Amino acid sequence: MIRFGTIGTSWITEEFLQEAVKSKIIKFTCLYTRDKNKGKLFVEKNKMFKTTVVTSFQDMIENIDAVYIASPNGLHYEQAKYFLAQQKHVLVEKPITFTYEESIELAQIAKMNNVILMEAMKTIHLPQFGELIEFNNKHNAFCANLSMNQYSSRMPDVKNGIYKGPFDEILGKGSTYDMLIYPVALAIALFGAAEEVKSFGQKLLNNTNVNDAVIIKHENGTLTNIMCSKSATGVIGSEILSEDATLSFGALTMLEDIKIYNRLTNENKILFKKNEESGFKYILDLFIKMILNNDFKLRDNILSLSCEIIRVLNMVEDDQ
């Protein structure tokens, strides 16, 4: 049995819990929140009846083996660092940190303490991601157009000069670290490390990005073109291009409606429609597997990917 603690009471924590309670290996013991009354309401709402609400990280230590961190983005680094140093396994929401140097440091602390650290990045752990890998390997893809355009529920507040959540200049840092991270992660997982990055951003009055346009030249020569917006709703999907075939898909975070168009035969083939499982199922399955098997090699491979993603986002930020 793995005793789990959680940090955060947002919708993403609820989504995590809905999947995690299905596991026979996980037992929830602690919920951390700054507001104890709010925490108690959250526990009742989610029927976490045997979970203790605490307002101190220290109160969690003796009662957990692992922690899920879903606090504001700007708090991930310090919180993950604390629990790793206490020899606790850490599953942290994206982004793992705001800087490449911090992500490298967390990876080193995890290695020193023989614990699992993993970023909860859904897309690259979905089973249908294998369809993209297979296409890339078979058809020698040389270019990708990735679209991640989703109108933010925060935009009405933004228009009134209220910058909270992902638009907070300290805790969120805008679209770059909140939404652009998804297509960047997909690109790096598919095509490898970045050699060069060019980007343009459109900023709000508090200097956080709301829209990003990015081109990545990968070390293997592949080009990835990304359009990412939190102020509009996109209606076209994404595509991966090769000389004789094109793979297209929608809903970038969940990889739905995957199709292949064959230029030579002018035929379309559907590879995958929609996965009814939550993305958290695959994240949790992998996280638990690494803990039970002490699979530090897999941990390090996944962490190297997370670190490279942050390095690219830092390059995007510096370029603007």
Instruction: Determine the Cα–Cα distance for residues 311 and 304; give it in Å rounded to an integer.
Output: 10
Quickly count: other Cβ atoms within 10 Å of residue 298's Cβ. Answer: 14
The rounded Cα 108 to chain-centroid distance in angstroms is 20
pLDDT at 277: 82
Average pLDDT over residues 212-239: 97
Given a cut of 90, whether residue 246 has pLDDT beyond it is yes
Q: How, if at all, do strands 238-241 and 267-272 pair?
A: unpaired
Taking a C-beta distance cutoff of 8 angstroms, is the pair 285, 154 a contact? no
Q: Does domain 2-121+280-296 have CATH number 1.10.4100.10?
A: no
Q: Cβ(117)–Cβ(81) under 8 Å?
A: no
DSSP structure string for 97-127:
-SSHHHHHHHHHHHHHTT--EEEE--GGGST
Q: For 128-274, which CATH superfamily applies?
A: Dihydrodipicolinate Reductase; domain 2 (3.30.360.10)
Question: Which helix (H) or strand (E) element contains residue 60?
Answer: helix 58-61
What integer pLDDT is reported at residue 276 of this predicted model?
81
pTM of the model: 0.95
**pLDDT of residue 4 exceeding 90:** yes
Distance, in Å, from the CA atom of 226 to the CA atom of 87, rounded to the nearest integer, reads 38
Amino acid letter for position 195: E
Lowest mean pLDDT among 106-115, 157-166, 186-195: 157-166
The domain spans of the chain are 2-121+280-296, 128-274
Q: Is 26 helix (H, G, I), strand (E, B) or coil?
A: strand
**Smallest Cα–Cα separation from 90: which of 71, 72, 105, 110?**
110
- Predicted confidence band of residue 128 (pLDDT cuts 50, 70, 90): very high
Reply yes or no on whether the pLDDT at 49 is more than 80.
no
- Is residue 67 very low, low, confident or very high in pLDDT (cuts 50, 70, 90)? very high
Greatest mean pLDDT among 43-52, 81-90, 157-166: 81-90
Residue 212 has pLDDT above 90, yes or no: yes
Question: How is the beta sheet containing 66-69 ordered, strand by strand?
Answer: 52-54, 26-32, 2-7, 66-69, 89-93, 117-120
Note whether 71 and 33 are within 8 A (CB). Answer: no
